[in-house]
Amino acid sequence: MSKIFKGEGILIILLLTIFLSSSVFSQKRKRKNKNAQQTEQQEGSGLSIQEFQPTKINNVVKLPGLQFPNINKIPQYSNNAMIAQIARLERNKQWEEYREVLYKYVTSFGINNFVNPVDVDLLWRLANVSEYLGDHALAKETYRLILRHNRTDISKALAHYEELTLFDKTLYANINDYYRLVEKRALIDTLTPPEDVLIEMGPQVNSDFSDYGMTLGGENQSELLFTSNRSETDTSAFNKQFNPKKNNENIYISHKTTDDMWGMAEPLETINTNYNEGSPYLSKDGNTLYFIRCMTPEGYGDCDIYYSKKKEDGTWDEAVNLGPKINSYAWDSHPSLSMTEDTLYFASDRKGGFGSSDIYYSVKDAKGAWGKAKNIGPFINSRGSELSPYPHVKYPILYFSSSVGIVNFGGFDIYKSFIVEGNFSEPKNVGPLVNGAGDEYYFAIDAEAKQLYYAKSKVKGNPNLDMQSFPLPMEAKPNNTVRFSGRVVEPTTGEVFKGVVTIIDLSDRVEVAPKKIREDGSFDFELINDKKYLLVIEGDNFFQIEEIFFVEGDKHVQIPAVSVNSSLSFASIDFDPGSAKLKPEMENNLHLVIDFLVKHNDYRLIVTGHTDSDGNHDANLKLSKERAQSIKEFIINYGELSADRVIADGRGDFDPIVKNPQTPEQKRLNRRVEFKIFLDEYRISVPVDDNNIDWGDE
C-alpha cells in the first residue's frame, strides 16, 4: 500500500477531528431555515470525477480539469451529509468511492473554502487518494492548488508534487552560463549576442521621483502613459494638507518620436486633479482611458476605477466612475482590457477574495455596460497577492504578477496564462531573464511582443523607480507554443548525464533561459515555430554537443552523448590521401575537444593517428604520426594550452578496426584519429562518436 496511507489510524483520527469541527459548525447553524439549507445543498457542483479531464490544447497549453462553478455564486459550500459519507468511506477503505465523493465536495467549493484550513485539508486528501489510485493528472493539479492556497505548512504537499513532477518540472540553470556561452561564441563564429541589458527610457519620461505603472496605446502604440509623483505636483492644497511628505500621483503622457525614443512627458491636465491618479490603461484606438483616482468624496473606496473619452480636440472628457458593479469600499486598481476589449480586468483587495489582493474581471453586455465584477478564480489567484493583470492586445494570454508560485525567483514574479474560450491555463513563470530577486509588477508589453516595459530602481535600496524596457525573452513570449524536448543518454549503456542545455535563437536573437538536464536525462523548451535555433548541451562528464535545428511543430529528439569514459573518434576527421593537412570541416569537432580541455585543467589528451592498409607500412606509420601532430598543434595553439597537455602518436596500419578490409567503407573505418583523455596516471577513454542526433518527431 502507498506510503500515503501508512498512518491510517492517524488519518482517521485527524478526519474525525475535522468532522467534529464540522458538527460544531452545524449546531451553530441550526437557526437557518429549511429553505436556506436546501439552497445551500443545491449549490453543489454535482460534478462527477469522470468529468475530470485536463484539456490539452497542445503540448504547451493545457487547461485545468478541475472546475469550480460556485466560485462566484456562494461564499462557502458545506454539506454535513457528504462529510459523514467521506468519513465512512475512509474507515471502510473504499478508496474509489471515497475519491468520487471527495471530488464532488471539493468541486463545489466557494472562495471561502480555499481560505478555511479544514476545507483545504479535503484538497490534500483528494490529492493523496488520487496519487494512491494512480490518477497522477488529478493529483498534480490538486497539489498545485494546495501549494497556491494552503496557509499552513506546505512541505508535505510540495514533496508529493515534486515527486510526481520529477521528470517534467522546469529546472532553470544559472543565467550567467547563458551569457558566458553567447559571448564565447560571438568571438568564435561571429554570432551576435542577444541584447541582454535593460534599456533606459531616458530623462524625457523618467524623473528624480518614482515613475511607474505604464501602458502603451493609441495608433501603432505611439503613446506612453504612466504614473509619476514628481515634484511639480507637490503644490496642490490637497497634497499639502493631507500628504505633506509625499508628492501627489498624477498621470503623464509621452509620444514616440522614433523606434526607441520618446518625447518629453507632460501631465494629462484634464485628467489630473488634487487627488491621486494612476495606473492608466489606454484602449487600442487611443480614445478611451481607464485609470484610478483615490480618496475622492464621491468614490466608493480607497481607490476607484474611472474612465474618460477623448474629445475631438484631443482633450479628455470629464472622468466617470465605473460604479459599484466594479468598484468596492476597498482598493481597486490596475485596470486593463482583454484582446477584444469586452472584458475588464483589475486588481482589488476587497474582502471575500482568496488572498491579500485578487484579480477580478467584468464582462461588457450587449448594451456596452460593464457587468458585476467576478473573481477570476483559484488557478490565477492565491493566498498571497496578485496584481497588474495585463492581457496581450494581439494574443489570447493574460500576464499578471503574483507573490505565490511553485516556480518563484523573488517577491512578486510575472506569470502568464493562456486564455481558451474563457478558461485560463495553469500559470507559468516567465523565467529568470525577467524575474529577479526583487518585485516585478507595474509592467506592459508591446503589441509585437518584443519589449517588456517595467519600473526598476537604478540603485539597490532606492525607493524611486525609473521606467525601463527589456527585450522580451522566449519564456515570456505569448506565441512560444511549440514544445521542443529531448533526452541526453549514452547510446550503448543508457547512462544519463547531468548538464545544462542552452538554446540560442538564430532567427530573431530572442533570449532563451538555459535549463538543467533532469535526472532521467530529459529536457524541454517552449519555442516559437518556424525558426532556426542552435542547441548546445554541456556537462562535466561528456563532450559538448552542438546542433543547428529548425522548429516546425512539436519535436522530440534522442541525443547520444559522448561519455568521458569511452573512446573518441570523428568520422569528419578524414584526411586526403597522403596528406596531413587539416581541412576546415574538421574544426567543429576539434573545438569539442578544445572546449573540454579548457574547462577541465586536470585532464590531458593523447591523439593517435591510424591509416588503412594501402601502401607501405613505414610510410603509413610516418603519415599517421604527422596527422596526429597536426591535430595536436591545432588544439594547443587554438586552445592556448601548454604543449605537455597533448601527446601525439601514430600507429600506421598496425591496429585496424576491420582486419583484412575488402571494401572502401571498411578501409575508411580503419583510417581514423582517436582521442584518449586521461587524468593523472589513470587513463580515461573519451568518446566523441559520429552518431547523429535522431531529429525524428516523437
Instruction: Give the mean pLDDT of 50-79.
Output: 84
In tens, the pLDDT along 91-115 reads 999 999 999 999 999 999 999 999 9
Same domain, residue pair 579 and 600: yes
| Reduced DSSP (H G I as helix, E B as strand, rest coil) percent helix, strand, coil of the chain, to 5 | 25, 30, 45
Question: Which residue range(s) make up the domain with 256?
Answer: 199-476
CATH number of the domain that residue 667 is part of: 3.30.1330.60
Whether the pLDDT of residue 212 is over 60: the answer is yes
Same domain, residue pair 469 and 613: no
Whether the pLDDT of residue 42 is over 60: the answer is no
Same domain, residue pair 548 and 586: no
Same domain, residue pair 496 and 637: no
Whether the pLDDT of residue 37 is over 80: the answer is no
Work out how many domains the chain is built from and give that number: 4
Lowest mean pLDDT among 20-29, 84-93, 475-484, 644-653: 20-29
Q: How far apart are CA 563 and CA 259, in angstroms?
A: 49
Whether the pLDDT of residue 7 is over 80: the answer is no
Whether the pLDDT of residue 698 is over 90: the answer is no
691 in a domain, yes or no?
A: no
Instruction: Give the mean pLDDT of 17-21.
Output: 37
Instruction: Give the mean pLDDT of 610-622.
Output: 88
Q: Are 551 and 528 in contact (CB under 8 A)?
A: yes
Whether the pLDDT of residue 193 is over 50: the answer is no
Same domain, residue pair 306 and 420: yes
692 in a domain, yes or no?
A: no
Return the C-alpha cell found at 70.
Answer: 460556485
Residue 490: which pLDDT band, with cuts at 50, 70 and 90?
Answer: confident
18 in a domain, yes or no?
A: yes
Lowest mean pLDDT among 81-90, 221-230, 456-465, 493-502: 456-465
Same domain, residue pair 299 and 419: yes
In tens, the pLDDT along 134-165 reads 999 999 999 999 999 999 889 999 999 899 88
Q: At what angle do helices 117-132 and 136-149 cross, to 10 degrees?
A: 160
Instruction: Give the mean pLDDT of 25-37.
Output: 34
Same domain, residue pair 485 and 575: no
In tens, the pLDDT along 219-266 reads 788 899 999 998 654 444 444 344 444 568 999 999 998 877 899 999
Same domain, residue pair 46 and 143: yes
The more confident residue out of 304 and 49 is: 304
Residue 577, pLDDT score: 80
Same domain, residue pair 540 and 507: yes
Give the mean pLDDT of the chain. 83
Give the 3-state DSSP-derived string for 550-582, with helices as H, strands as E and coil as C.
EECCCEEEEEECCECCCCEECCCCCCCCCCCCC
- Residue finishing a domain among 521, 537, 560: 560
The more confident residue out of 683 and 613 is: 613
Residue 185, pLDDT score: 53
Residue 258, pLDDT score: 80
Whether the pLDDT of residue 13 is over 60: the answer is no
Same domain, residue pair 454 and 495: no
Same domain, residue pair 471 and 486: no
698 in a domain, yes or no?
A: no
Instruction: Give the mean pLDDT of 498-520.
Output: 91
Give Cα separations from 47 to 37, 67, 83, 573 (angstroms): 20, 8, 16, 65
Cite the beta strand spans of 54-138 per DSSP E.
55-56, 62-63
Same domain, residue pair 353 and 284: yes
Q: How far apart are CA 158 and CA 683, in angstroms?
A: 44
693 in a domain, yes or no?
A: no
Return the C-alpha cell found at 95.
Answer: 478508496
696 in a domain, yes or no?
A: no
